Structure 1
Amino acid sequence: MSLEGMKEGVKGPLSIAAEIFELMPTLIVVKVKKKGGDRGEYEKFCRKECLENILLMLQLLRFFHQIVRSTTKDRELLQF
């Protein structure tokens, strides 16, 4: 996933790449790196916004996993 800031910083808009790896249902690794923009803005993003967004994304991933699991179980029941 790629994110780009709306406001122009000292070195252009902040551009960030994020990768999400689900190692187990209860263990998710998020790799975030700066693609462009100001380092100070990136560090500020990582301290505040990144953490909040990661927590929100984890909640959404868990929600979608529950939907997929229940849908898969429903399909299995319908096949018998």
Structure 2
Amino acid sequence: MSLADKAWKGKRVTDLEELLMDRLADATGRERWAVFLELDDILDRIAADADRRLACQATHPVPNPAASGPVVV
């Protein structure tokens, strides 16, 4: 989940990517380099549109409920 969140924001985190590559290679029996090539391509495609997504997200701020007092149900 952490890697997906970072990629969505256009950030690449080598440690997380390597951990996922190792897990995928172990789980699938594929060579680590082959997993890297595919994962790298996927993460690049996700990250490529990050600026547009973040700009859109910034136009819709999430209200801070703590700033408006207690929530009454």
TM-score scaled by structure 2? 0.47
TM-score scaled by structure 1? 0.44
Q: Which has the larger share of strand?
A: 1
The structure, 1 or 2, with the larger RCO (C-alpha pairs under 8 Å, 6+ apart) is 2
Q: Which has the larger share of helix?
A: 2
